[in-house]
Amino acid sequence: MAELQDLSLREVELQDAAQIRRNIFPNKTLRQIENRIKNSEHERRIVALSNNEIIGYAVLAFRTVPHAHTALLHSLFVRDDFRNKGIGSRIIEHAEKIAFQNGIEILLLEVSAENRNAIPLYKKLGFEEYGLLRNGYKKDGKYKDLALMKKVLGK
């Protein structure tokens, strides 16, 4: 796997909305994406860039209850033509740093139990499966299971 040399990671900015729509979520409207960026008080949205082009994305969601020490990583996406270049790993590592700096001790994620590419990656990065949520999401009118994974940070 050849690592991408010019990769940079940062938190999303409102002016990224058009690129996010074009490169990551073409089925969403620009307004939907802008609203998500504006209304993300308890989330950190991360973008991965190559040559100033957004090629990856993830959301780190913080719980709002007192004494919460867990956060959820979701909506991880890397553009097809940039996959298998270490970008997903770099996004996850960046999210882990942000989470740890904000007092998070356990990072959670949910992934389709059928996703045979993502699960080994998450395990390689130190995540472990702790459960299965049967019928955890619905895709194309069919229920699918979610693998529940976690990683203790700061080990």
pLDDT score for 82: 94
Report if residue 144 sits inside a domain: no
Count the neighbouring beta carbons within 10 Å of the beta carbon of residue 69: 11
118 domain-assigned: no
Q: Does 73 fall in a domain?
A: yes
Which structural domain range is residue 71 located in?
7-110
Average pLDDT of every residue of the chain: 94
Phi, psi (degrees; rounded to nearest 5) at 24 = -120, -50
Would you say residue 82 lies in a domain?
yes
Strand segments, DSSP code E, in the chain are 7-11, 43-50, 53-62, 70-78, 106-112, 128-139, 142-152
CATH of the domain at 19: 3.40.630.30
With a pLDDT cut of 70, the percent of the chain lying above it is 97
Looking at the 3D structure of the chain, how many domains does it have?
A: 1
5: phi then psi, degrees, rounded to nearest 5: -80, -35
pLDDT over 90 (residue 77)? yes
Q: Identify whether 23 is part of a domain.
A: yes
Lowest mean pLDDT among 66-70, 84-88, 109-113, 143-147: 66-70
> Which residue reads 């909506």 in tokens?
75
Inform me whether the pLDDT recorded for 4 exceeds 80: no
pLDDT in tens, 115-138: 998 999 999 999 999 999 999 999
DSSP symbols for 48-64: EEETTEEEEEEEEEE--
In a domain, 54, yes or no: yes
Q: Is residue 139 part of a domain?
A: no
Is residue 127 domain-resident? Answer: no
With cut-offs at 50, 70 and 90, classify the pLDDT of residue 64.
Answer: confident
pLDDT of 144 reads 96
How is residue 125 written in tokens? 């990065």
Across the beta sheet with 142-152, the strand order is 7-11, 43-50, 53-62, 70-78, 106-112, 142-152, 128-139
CA neighbours within 13 Å on the CB side: how many for 20? Answer: 27
